[in-house]
Amino acid sequence: MSSTEQALIAGLQAHDSGAFETLLRVHGPRLLRLGRRFLQSEEDARDALQDAMVAVHRSIGAFQSSAALSTWLHRIMVNASLMRLRARRRHPEEDLEELLPRFKADGHQLEPSVPWSESADAVLEREELRAAVRAAIEKLPDAFRIVLVLRDIEEMSTAETAEILGTTKNVVKIRLHRARQALRTLLDPAMRSGK
């Protein structure tokens, strides 16, 4: 941990308003971006960031200097975003089990995956597919959506994601695999039709 970060933490623990301003200036943009990815609404993301900053103010005294400040802040922001999601529950979640491939006794898929009509790179250039991807991610159950966002969109490592979520790396890997399979099922109709 750098001396600058140690000084920031000391200021936060002393409830120095300048330290909180610095925290928000340095870490706020990334935390807000993370909130936007979960909440899909600028207002909700800003409210979640405000909730997270209140939580930081309340719990900074218990912060363990052995942990990375950024990881701790991400965990708080994820929790604040989840609380907002649960409170508003705008979009129904899909049953993940219904979206996963089914297999025969010999290990082959019952319904084999069909190649998509165009490359994923070409299709992702289209705005309607970007909207479909966002909508499909929103339909995933929280535990799977969060792992997908942190790993594939925020590009965090498996270890960082596990630490933020307070779980094991193996759980993160399993949830990510299942989330990707479910996302493929949700996107299959759009990708097959080329629309």
- Name residue, tokens 């479909």: 132
What's the pLDDT score for residue 168? 93
Strand partners, 109: 103
**Domains delineated in the chain:** 3-88 (1.10.1740.10), 96-193 (1.10.10.10)
The CA distance from 190 to 123, in Å, is 10
Residue 44 CA to chain centroid, in angstroms? Answer: 15
144 with 94: CB under 8 angstroms?
Answer: no
Q: Which residues of the chain have pLDDT under 50?
A: 195
The per-residue pLDDT for range 130-182, each reduced to its tens digit, is: 778 888 888 888 889 889 998 998 888 999 899 888 889 999 999 999 999 99
What's the pLDDT score for residue 52? 92
pTM of the model: 0.58
Q: How many CA atoms lie within 13 A of 137 on its CB side?
A: 20
What's the pLDDT score for residue 195? 47
What's the pLDDT score for residue 89? 62
